[in-house]
Structure 1
Amino acid sequence: MTNWRIRDFQPGDLDALLRLWDQHRATSTEPVYALGEVLASTRKDTAVVAVKGDDVVGVAVARAAHDQGWIVFLGTDVDHRRDGIGGALLQAIEQRMAPQGLQRLSILVPDEQTQVGALSKAGFADKRHLRFFEREIPVKQREILLLRELGGRVLPPDRWESIGGMQHEKDILERRLVLPLSDPQLAEHYGVVPPRAIVLFGPPGTGKTTFAKGIASRLGWPFVEVFPSRLAASSKGLAGELRETFEQVDGLDHVVVFIDEVEEIASHRGGEPPSPTQGVTNELLKIIPAFRERPGRLLICATNFIRALDQAFLRHGRFDYVIPIGLPDDAARRAIWQRYVPEAVADVVDVDALVSRTAGYSPADIEFAARKASQVALERAVAARDSDTDVPAGPNTDDFLAAIDATRTTVSAEVSREFDEDIVSIARV
């Protein structure tokens, strides 16, 4: 959990910039750009700072040239260089410069400089012996307005890495999806056709939406979520609005389209009279083949009730993979708990006990229990402070165990059993 924030550069930040400039020169090589150029860019170009409390602990300054953005200064306080601030500053610069129509963001780094970890983690590639780092901006200017109309966005590049545990599912998605989609030339060389559409299925709260967003983040593609409930409110009707949405999506060079609770628009057809959703199911079955014809796009559908889907919906040719996302195993639950246990008490909380006690809990269940325990500890700390007694550092093991016991699990034994059956009869990985 970060204890700093990013904001735009303000004139009052000048002293902090000079301090970070001096630190940079003392601990690294001479910056490529002169101080005068950096100061000029803070006034007329793009500049952001990282602030912890009242202190500026990082700064990034950039300028635009034709279709390219250049980082003219990136500096982080020496005491915070392992806190991920550099990557966050680069991401903030990219978000502010993308609407200018820039296609790439670059930075020149002297050969002698060794502190380039933030650049590599942020997706920049070392292009030349001069250490010319460059990162493609995934969304062009002409796509910005279209993305806004669709309610889409480009997700931070760390979403994939932040998924706690679930390593088995991540490995499958990395191999089956990310590898061929991120390097289509290599896939073609080996005769692999990159996937165009997949289904994620599993009990509620197991992280299907999180995985969909993580895949978009991992690929660096825009993420557009289609909400069946919103489509239904359109005057064009559900089928008409769905068709128009996918026609708009066609204007994006790369995109991950996500439909959650897809059973709402792809349920079993038939019966007398026909079900109200039969028309939209038919429309969706026509849309998917057309969507698959163009490269650089991926449709991800998620469902908690895969048995409710129309049989024709899942057949080969429409969906490349039907991937189960189940409850987290011990390793995954450990990773999830480590994310939610505050750093101040991480060494004293018995995580093994929390992992053992939460078998059968979904990631959402664990998050709820963790937040409940932290809330109890916060209230206890406020009471202790008001009574002038010792204030606890944070929630303890008993707080977490009590919160776990008070949390009703989302997935019943029957739902879990049906999911295991669906893996055998429906999954396709």
Structure 2
Amino acid sequence: MTKWRVRDFHTTDLDGILHLWESAKAASAESVYALSEVLASCEKDYAVVAVEGDQVIGAAVGRAAHDQGWIVFLAVLPEYRSSGIGTALLAGVETRMAPHGLNKLSALMPEAETRVGAFLARGFSLKQNLRYLERKIPVQRQELEPLSSLGGRVLARGLWENVSGMRKEKELLERRLVLPLAKADLADEFGVVPPRAVVLFGPPGTGKTTFAKAISSRLEWPFVEIFPSRLASDSKGLAGALRETFLEVAELEHAVVFIDEVEEIASHRSGEPPSPLQGVTNELLKIIPAFREQPGRLLICATNFIRTLDSAFLRHGRFDYVIPIGLPDQQAREAMWQRFIPTSVVNDVDVPLLVRRTDGFTPADIEYAARSASQRALEKAVYGNGGGGATEGATKGPATQDYLDAIEDTRTTVSEEVHRQFLEDIDVLGRV
């Protein structure tokens, strides 16, 4: 007569479940479900345990989803295996799930799993040529409310790949920021401390905001943009609202926090009496060190005028990197034109000529010129060159001359003087 028996799970059995989990883990039996999921199902779904005296020697946990049930955990202590306990546990949990009206009971397990025999003995069939796929959802349900209150959002995947050209900047950001944050455990092995705060600086329109969003998308972390102009109307005042916002960010597991045009609240402190914004600058200087102590977060500040930032703001210990984002080089401009020109006509357009003519253009300038050329070509196709009907056999899309005309009419964002100052700032203030 067996000395063990199968009964319903009790809350006092949690220590036994943990012991079973550790035993299975020690035997290198990878689990499809996380321990937190198993424990939650023990309390809320269906669970049975095998006991000998007061000791929990095995457990089976099930979960129902519509008309299908899933075995999320099955474990027996090593010294009790091959005694039919696993099959008995499966029978017990199936009996308790029966009132749910299930049509199918399923289980997922690693290829090296040793408890297949218990399933086969209970009437399960082993399905061949199946692959288990999973994807982690980046934002948990409990985070949605605080994220919404912050005006944050989870950005679409693929923004990183959509950043045309800018290869040098992308490679630098990938290595310095994304790599140590996305592979934190590996970084720790090498003694690398993941970055917590960075400054992106460069002329207007060079893509600093685009890069911040792309980094958020690449990491699959929520993106929270802070607008000082909006916080200024808060009853707590700008400094108080800023402090409150960062306290709310602390409730998120991960976040990329972005402040654009940070010079508005972190400019040089001077003057008598002090400017009202000096209190805001002081508050921000206090916030950053506290923010840096929280893992899973990255603060990105962007500025067009890095020279105006307070010297204490940029010092080591607050920002890990001060990274320049400049005008696109020839390779980057070519990638941008290839992206913006319709595929139906790109082979007929002199792209190298457009690349040469847009030296000194920002990404925003190039996008504007491309859209302007498309609009001009559309109008010519519909109304004709002289305002009459469309020309017979007209090109179905913009031609090289349309782009050249649009380039000629585009006022560049960055003057030669601004670009010269930017190059000086790289030498004096850049930190990569």
The CA deviation at 1:390 is 2.6
Q: 3-state SS of the aligned residue for 2:224? A: strand
- Per-residue CA deviation, residues 161-202 of structure 1 (Å, 9 max, x unaligned), is 000000000011000011000011100000000000000000
For 2:324, the aligned partner's letter is P
- Per-residue CA deviation, residues 294-332 of structure 1 (Å, 9 max, x unaligned), is 110000000000000000000111000000000000000
Q: 3-state SS of the aligned residue for 1:134? A: coil
Match of 1:197?
A: 197
Distance 2:131 2:176 in 1: 32
Q: Does structure 1 retain, via aligned residues, the 8 Å contact 2:269–2:310?
A: yes
Distance 2:418 2:208 in 1: 16
The CA deviation at 1:222 is 0.3
In our comparison, the structure showing a higher alpha carbon Rg is: 2
Aligned length, in residue pairs:
308
Q: Does structure 1 retain, via aligned residues, the 8 Å contact 2:203–2:422?
A: yes
Match of 1:356?
A: 356
Q: 3-state SS of the aligned residue for 2:299? A: strand
Match of 2:135?
A: 135
The structure 2 residue matched to 1:392, chosen from 378, 392, 395, is 395
The CA deviation at 1:235 is 1.9
Q: 3-state SS of the aligned residue for 1:210? A: helix
Q: 3-state SS of the aligned residue for 1:240? A: helix
The CA deviation at 1:65 is 4.6
Write out the 4+ residue segments of structure 1 that deviate beyond 2 Å after TM superposition. Answer: 128-131, 384-392
Q: Does structure 1 retain, via aligned residues, the 8 Å contact 2:370–2:403?
A: yes
Distance 2:381 2:242 in 1: 51
For 1:418, the aligned partner's letter is Q
- Per-residue CA deviation, residues 327-384 of structure 1 (Å, 9 max, x unaligned), is 0000000111111101110110111000000000000100111111000011111125
Unaligned runs of 5+ in 2: 1-63, 71-107, 112-127
Match of 2:409?
A: 406
The CA deviation at 1:386 is 4.3
Q: 3-state SS of the aligned residue for 2:134? A: strand
- Per-residue CA deviation, residues 277-307 of structure 1 (Å, 9 max, x unaligned), is 1000000001001111011000000000000
For 2:398, the aligned partner's letter is P
2:178 is equivalent to residue 175 of structure 1: no
The CA deviation at 1:387 is 4.5
Q: How does 1:271-286 map to 2 (within 5 A)?
A: 271-286=271-286
Match of 1:378?
A: 378
Q: Does structure 1 retain, via aligned residues, the 8 Å contact 2:381–2:390?
A: no
Q: Does structure 1 retain, via aligned residues, the 8 Å contact 2:381–2:391?
A: no
The CA deviation at 1:234 is 1.6
Match of 2:430?
A: 427
Distance 2:313 2:129 in 1: 51
Q: 3-state SS of the aligned residue for 1:323? A: strand
Given the superposition, is the C-alpha separation of residues 129 and 298 from structure 1 closer, same or farther in structure 2, using an over 3 Å criterion?
farther
The CA deviation at 1:389 is 2.6
Q: Does structure 1 retain, via aligned residues, the 8 Å contact 2:380–2:390?
A: no
Given the superposition, is the C-alpha separation of residues 360 and 65 from structure 1 closer, same or farther in structure 2, using an over 3 Å criterion?
farther
Same amino acid, percent of matched pairs: 69
The CA deviation at 1:129 is 8.7
Match of 1:123?
A: none
2:253 is equivalent to residue 253 of structure 1: yes
The CA deviation at 1:137 is 0.4
The CA deviation at 1:139 is 0.5
Length-normalised TM-score, structure 1: 0.69
Match of 2:304?
A: 304
Distance 2:129 2:179 in 1: 27
Given the superposition, is the C-alpha separation of residues 337 and 65 from structure 1 closer, same or farther in structure 2, using an over 3 Å criterion?
farther
For 1:367, the aligned partner's letter is E
Q: How does 1:100-111 map to 2 (within 5 A)?
A: none
Q: CA RMSD in A?
A: 2.0
Distance 2:219 2:213 in 1: 10
The CA deviation at 1:388 is 7.0
Given the superposition, is the C-alpha separation of residues 65 and 288 from structure 1 closer, same or farther in structure 2, using an over 3 Å criterion?
farther
Given the superposition, is the C-alpha separation of residues 388 and 337 from structure 1 closer, same or farther in structure 2, using an over 3 Å criterion?
closer
Q: Does structure 1 retain, via aligned residues, the 8 Å contact 2:358–2:407?
A: yes
